[in-house]
Chain A
Amino acid sequence: QKEVEQNSGPLSVPEGAIASLNCTYSDRGSQSFFWYRQYSGKSPELIMSIYSNGDKEDGRFTAQLNKASQYVSLLIRDSQPSDSATYLCAVNDNAGNMLTFGGGTRLMVKP
């Protein structure tokens, strides 16, 4: 059973601060990792993908991957109230046939 674990939160940060979201996964053979954002009642929306160890930056978002520790994280700089949502970590199997989601971390950015 492939597991993806996230702290459910809520994680509360003030506007302008850095939000740090974490995720661990059980399948050591996983090769591709994604962060999705989900607003209440809406579908998951892709924020970032990461495939190699290290950091990947895209605007205010930075994804970090450490395959040895089976750990993925997402940093959101200059957090805005509009960033308030549930952030889903997702891990793909090697064949790309099954993307497994974590339970999500609810982020609240307070003005």
Chain B
Amino acid sequence: EPEVTQTPSHQVTQMGQEVILRCVPISNHLYFYWYRQILGQKVEFLVSFYNNEISEKSEIFDDQFSVERPDGSNFTLKIRSTKLEDSAMYFCASRDSERIASPLHFGNGTRLTVT
């Protein structure tokens, strides 16, 4: 069964450094998402992306965050200057375009630790 792939599985970085989290969505999917989950807390929406544009973003997704689809397969989340509070599990998700209501399929996540 096709799946969403995320790399790396764990990223450790120092405060103030830039990080790029990478995702390969399911190949025929056109809608892409990033979510995060701070340890012990709920899964929070960051951003949705379609047709090379951001469709929706949350208050969390400030100027320090950006997303990009640099080629036909990858979808990246960049955090420009990491803060301690950015430590979380980051999940990429995708869905197909057949129905607006089609479910999201999640990758295994990248655990980001900011020290």
Tell me, in angstroms, the Cα distance from A48 to B44 when the chains sit together.
Answer: 20
Which of B35, B100, B108 makes the CB contact (< 8 A) with A96? B100
Contacts of B103 in A (CB 8 A): 34, 46, 49
Size of the chain A interface, CB-CB below 8 angstroms: 26
Size of the chain B interface, CB-CB below 8 angstroms: 26
Closest residue of B by beta carbon distance from A99: B104
Interface stretch (choices A11-19, A37-45, A76-84): A37-45
Which of A38, A93, A95, A96 makes the CB contact (< 8 A) with B95? A96
B43 touches A88 (CB 8 A): yes
A98 touches B91 (CB 8 A): no
B95 touches A42 (CB 8 A): no
Contact with A along B49-86 (1 / 0, CB 8 A): 01000011010000000000000000000000000000
Interface stretch (choices A20-28, A54-62, A65-73, A101-109): A101-109
Which of A31, A44, A45, A49 makes the CB contact (< 8 A) with B43? A44
Question: In the complex where A32-B101, A43-B108, A51-B101 touch, is A98 in contact with B42 (Cβ < 8 A)?
Answer: no
Contacts of A43 in B (CB 8 A): 91, 106-109
Contacts of B58 in A (CB 8 A): 98
Closest residue of B by beta carbon distance from A8: B42
Question: In the complex where A97-B48, A98-B45, A98-B56 touch, is A49 in contact with B106 (Cβ < 8 A)?
Answer: no
Given contacts A97-B56, A101-B43, A101-B45, 15 further A-B contacts (CB under 8 A): A31-B101, A32-B101, A34-B104, A43-B91, A45-B106, A88-B43, A94-B100, A95-B55, A96-B100, A96-B101, A98-B58, A99-B45, A100-B45, A102-B42, A103-B42
Which A residues have a C-beta under 8 Å from some C-beta of B?
A: 31-32, 34, 38, 42-46, 49, 51, 88, 90, 92-104
Which B residues have a C-beta under 8 Å from some C-beta of A?
A: 31, 33, 35, 41-45, 48, 50, 55-56, 58, 91, 93, 95, 100-109
6 of the cross-chain contacts (CB-CB < 8 Å) are A32-B100, A43-B91, A43-B106, A92-B100, A96-B100, A97-B48
